[in-house]
């Protein structure tokens, strides 16, 4: 079903960046990494890899070119007196750990209790993706999403819960797959009132 608060042409699919040229110094850095890893960047299967990796990282980090606040700039006040929790549950996202540049893959639940205005629901996901498509730590990502909604929408409360797995833990180091990390940030009524906090966490499935 289309988001009735969004304009008809406002899709949720993020297009990859155009096939941009990758600077030679970026490609040479990737060749150096390939050599250091023990392979030959000049062999057939790796000849085009430096350019591909360069473009991939431009896509992974396209959030640096976005202002997440922009997605919350259009609000709606005609909501028929609705004043209860608005929740977008289980939003899938991908990010990369700033310590090892390894993938972070997870889901986020974002809720707010409006005071006098709401925003199109897809915009909550857009805020998440704008911050996730940067080098991140999960704790900061959680706080950034919550703070942005709090500051731009001026709601009664904001709740953000993120559950993700980190390849820097599952594929290297301690190498422990299947472990999820959960972070949360509660603001306003969800932090101050235990019953409100329990209600929103129950709606999120926690």
Enzyme catalytic residues: 97-100, 138, 166, 168
Burial 3-38 (b: 16+ CB within 10 A, else e): eebbeeeeeeeeeeeeeeebeeebbeebbeebeeee
User: Which residues, other chains included, contact 21 with Cβ-Cβ below 8 Å and sequence gap of 6+?
Assistant: none
Q: Which of 79, 97, 93, 63 is nearest to 163 (CA)?
A: 93
Helix (H, G, I), strand (E, B) or coil at 192: helix
Strands 135-136 and 181-188, how do they pair? unpaired
Strands 86-97 and 103-113, how do they pair? antiparallel
CA distance 95 to 129: 8
């Amino acid at each position: 079903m289309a988001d009735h608060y969004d304009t008809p042409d406002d899709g949720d699919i993020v297009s990859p960046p155009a096939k941009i040229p990758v600077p030679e110094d970026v490609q040479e850095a990737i060749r150096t990494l390939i050599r250091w890893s023990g392979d030959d960047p000049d062999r057939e299967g790796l000849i085009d890899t430096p350019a591909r990796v360069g473009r991939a990282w431009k896509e992974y980090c396209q959030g640096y070119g976005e202002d997440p606040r922009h997605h919350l700039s259009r609000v709606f006040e005609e909501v028929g007196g609705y004043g209860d929790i608005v929740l977008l549950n289980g939003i899938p996202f991908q990010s990369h750990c700033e310590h090892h540049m390894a993938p972070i893959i997870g889901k986020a639940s974002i809720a707010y209790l409006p005071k006098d205005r709401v925003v199109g629901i897809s915009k909550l996901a857009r805020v998440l993706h704008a911050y996730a498509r940067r080098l991140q730590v999960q704790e900061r990502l959680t706080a950034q999403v919550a703070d942005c909604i709090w500051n731009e929408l001026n709601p009664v409360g904001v709740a953000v819960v993120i559950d993700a797995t980190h390849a820097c833990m599952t594929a290297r180091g301690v190498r422990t797959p299947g472990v999820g990390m959960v972070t949360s940030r509660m603001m306003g009524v969800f932090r101050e009132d235990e019953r409100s906090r329990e209600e929103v966490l129950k709606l999120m499935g926690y």
